[in-house]
Amino acid sequence: MKKTLNSQKKHLQTKQKKMPNARTLISLDWAMKKILRNKANFDILEGFLSELLKRDIKIKSILESESNRDNENDKYNRVDILAENENSEIVIIEVQFANQVDYFKRMLYGASKALIERMERGMPYKNIVKIYSVNIVYFPLGDGSDYVYHGTQSFTGLHNGDVLELTEKQKKFFLKENIEDLFPEYYILDVTKFNNIAKDPLDEWIYYLKNYKIEDSFNAKGLKAANEKLKYYALSESEQRAYDRMVDYERIEMSEIETAFMDGEYKGREEGREEGREEGREEGREEGREEGREEGREEGRENVRQIALNLLKRGDSIDEISAITNLTSAEIDELRKLSLL
Q: What is the pLDDT of residues 117-174, one digit of tens each?
A: 888 777 898 889 999 999 999 888 999 999 999 999 999 999 999 999 999 999 999 9
Higher-scoring residue by pLDDT: 302, 188:
188
Task: Quick: pLDDT tens for 34-68.
Answer: 889 999 999 999 999 999 999 999 999 998 654 33
Mean pLDDT of the chain, nearest integer: 80
Which pLDDT belongs to residue 283?
Answer: 61
pLDDT at 288: 58
Residue 11: predicted pLDDT: 44
For the stretch 254-306, pLDDT in tens is 555 555 555 555 555 555 555 555 555 566 556 655 665 666 566 667 777 88
pTM over 0.75: no
Taking only the tens place, the pLDDT of each residue in 218-246 is 999 999 999 999 998 888 888 888 888 77
- For 190, phi then psi, to 5°, come to -90, 95
Q: Cα–Cα distance between 297 and 302 in angstroms, integer? A: 9
Instruction: Say how far residue 171 (Cα) sits from the centre of its chain.
Output: 34
Which of the pair, 16 or 183, is modelled with greater confidence?
A: 183
**pLDDT on residue 321:** 81
What per-residue confidence (pLDDT) applies to 251? 57
Q: Which pLDDT score, from 0 to 100, does residue 23 have? A: 52
Average pLDDT of span 298-327: 77
pLDDT (mean) for 168-183:
95
Q: Would you state the pLDDT for residue 224?
A: 95
Predicted pLDDT at 71? 42
Any residues with CB less than 8 A from the CB of 49 and at least 6 apart, and which?
57, 59, 85, 91, 132, 134
